[in-house]
Amino acid sequence: GKYIPKLVGKGGSCRKRLVAMTSSALEFVGKKAYMVGTVEQRALLVALLKALQASDDNYMKVIPDLFLQMSLQTGVHKDSFKTVVGDRRDNMKRIEDESIALVFVLDSGLSEASVSAPKAWKKMAVKEGSLVEVKIKGDWKAATVVSVTDWGDSDDEEDETDGRVLKVKMADDETEATVPIKSAREKLEGEAAEQRKTEEDEVAKLKDLKTFVIVAPSEEARRACALRIAISAEVDKPGTYAKDASSPPPGSLGEGVAVEKRALGEGEDWYCKDEAGTARLVRAARAAGCVIQLVEESLYYAGTEAARTMGAAFLKPLLSDSPGAMLGDELAESIKYFVSNDKKANLTDEVVAKVESEFGVLIYSDDGASISGMEDSTRMVLCHRDEAVREKAVARLKELQEIAPVVDWEDYSSGTWGGGG
C-alpha cells in the first residue's frame, strides 16, 4: 500500500501515463491494482508497476528483459543531472508526461569500474631499456626502464599488482622514479597512440555521465523523450548539444541531431504558453519529427537540422489567430486541400484532432480559399515531413467530410461538447 501514491502520481499523472503506455485500463482499489487488457498489455503493465515499486527515486541496477526491446539509453553530464531531473523529479515527470514514457536512472552500468581500461600491465613484458609510459600524479609520462624487480605475485586478493616494480628514468627531466607495474604501460607511437588517446577520452567522459533508461512502447516516444532530456541539459549548460558542439556527451543523440535556441517574435509567446500552447508545440514538432519546448521567452528545437527548420516553419502559422495564405504557400512539406463549407462542417475540431493524432500530421485552415475567390470553400493546410503520410491523411479527411460526426449528448448536456467547459 505504501507505493500507491507513487504509482498514482500527482493528479493521477503516473497512472494515466501507465495506461497510455500499455493501452490498458488500470484502477487502484485499496492495496490492489485492477487492470483490463490483453495478456501482453497486462504483462507489460505488471512489469512497469514492479519496476516502479523496486526502484528508489527511479534508480535501477538491471534493465528487466521485458524492457530491453522498448528502452533507449541516453546520458547527461553529472553536473547537469540535478537540473534535468528537477526537485522531487518535477522536471523529469513533465518530460515523462509529454513523452508518454517512464525514465529510470541506471545505477550500475556506467560505474567507474565498468568503464576502466583493462589491466594491460598484467600481460606487459618489460626489461631494461624498454620504452614505457608511467602514471605520475594522474598524468602519463614517457620513461625508459632502468631495472625490473620481481617480488613475486601476492596471495592478497586486494593486491592489484603481480609483484613487479620498475625503476625508470623520466624522459622530460631524466630523474628516476620507482613505480609498481600497474602504473606503467607500453609506449605507443603514431595511429596506435592516437587510438588509445581517443579511447581514454571516451572513458573519461563516461565516468562523468549519468545514464537514463527511457522506457516507452514506440521508438518515436523514446526518441522524443531523449530529445526533451537533451533540451533540459542544453538549458542548464548552453552548448552541450549545440550543432557546433565539439564534444557532445557519449552515446549522444545521433549524427546531425542538436538542440537549437530560437527567439520568439513579438506577441508569439502567448501562443506557446499553458496547456493550449504546449499542444501547439507538440502538433508542429510531431509533424516535423523534432521536439519543441518553450523555456522562459525562447523556443528550443531538438532534432536534425532539417527537422528543426521544418518544425519552426510548421509552428509559424499556429502563432497567430488568423494565419495568412502566404505562410501556407511557402510550406513545401504540405498539401493544400479545399473543402466546401457545407462539408467542412463535418470536419469538426475533434474530427481533425483525431486525424492529426492518427497520422502525426499538422492540420490548420487559412484564408487561401477567400484570396482565391472561393468564398464557399475553406483551404486546409496539411503538413508532415513524409509525402506518403500527407496523402494518406488527406484521403482520410475526404472520407470524414462525407460523414456527419456523432454527437455525444452526455458531454453536450454537461457543457463539454465542442471542446467547451
3-state secondary structure of 263: strand
- What average pLDDT does this structure show over 172-185? 91
User: Among candidates 99, 106, 131, 118, which has minimal Cα distance to 293?
Assistant: 99
- What average pLDDT does this structure show over 330-335? 96
Task: Dump pLDDT digits (tens) for 399-418.
Answer: 999 999 876 655 544 433 33
Q: Rounded to 5 degrees, what angle do the CA atoms 229, 232, 236 make?
A: 140
Task: Dump pLDDT digits (tens) for 347-392.
Answer: 999 999 999 999 999 999 999 999 999 999 999 999 999 999 999 9
User: Among candidates 23, 42, 41, 20, which has minimal Cα distance to 33?
Assistant: 42
pLDDT of residue 110: 42
Assign 145 a pLDDT band (cuts: 50, 70, 90): very high
Alpha carbon distance 246, 230 (integer Å): 16
Q: How far is CA 173 from CA 126, 141, 142, 143, 323, in A?
A: 22, 11, 10, 10, 73
Beta strands in 30-174 (DSSP E): 32-36, 59-60, 71-77, 102-106, 131-136, 139-150, 164-170
| Bigger pLDDT: 40 vs 160 | 40
- How many other CB atoms are found less than 10 A from the CB of residue 297? 10
pLDDT of residue 228: 97
CB 318 within 8 A of CB 277: no
388: Cα separation from own chain's centroid: 26
Assign 122 a pLDDT band (cuts: 50, 70, 90): low
Share of residues in the chain with pLDDT > 90 (%) = 70
Q: Rounded to 5 degrees, what angle do the CA atoms 107, 110, 116 make?
A: 140
145-149, 156-160, 294-298, 332-336: the lowest-pLDDT one:
156-160
pLDDT of residue 3: 86
Asked whether the predicted pLDDT for residue 116 surpasses 50, the reply is no
Copy the grid coordinates of residue 46. Answer: 505488471
Residue 389: half-sphere exposure toward Cβ, Cα within 13 Å: 20
Assign 114 a pLDDT band (cuts: 50, 70, 90): very low
Torsion of CA 315, 320, 323, 329, to 10 degrees: -30
pLDDT of residue 47: 94
CB 386 within 8 A of CB 348: no
pLDDT of residue 111: 41
Please list, residue by residue across 300-331, b when 16 or more beta carbons sit within 10 angstroms of its beta carbon and e when fewer do: bbbbbeebbebbbbbbbbbbeeebebebbeeb
pLDDT of residue 247: 67
Assign 155 a pLDDT band (cuts: 50, 70, 90): low
Mean pLDDT of the chain: 88
195-204, 255-264, 386-395: the lowest-pLDDT one:
195-204
Please count the helices (runs of H) and the strands (runs of E) in the chain. Answer: 16, 17
CB 121 within 8 A of CB 235: no
pLDDT of residue 104: 96
Asked whether the predicted pLDDT for residue 420 surpasses 80, the reply is no
Q: Could you write out the DSSP letters of every residue in 188-232?
A: --HHHHHHHHHHHHHHHHHHTEEEEEEE-SSHHHHHHHHHHHHHH
User: Among candidates 125, 167, 131, which has minimal Cα distance to 146?
Assistant: 167
Q: Which of 104-113, 143-152, 227-236 has the highest mean pLDDT?
A: 227-236
Q: Rounded to 5 degrees, what angle do the CA atoms 332, 314, 359 make?
A: 90
Alpha carbon distance 176, 170 (integer Å): 6
Assign 250 a pLDDT band (cuts: 50, 70, 90): low
Three-state SS for 286-302 is: HHHCCEEEEECCEEEEE
179-188, 285-294, 359-368: the lowest-pLDDT one:
179-188
How are beta strands 71-77 and 59-60 bridged, if at all?
Answer: unpaired
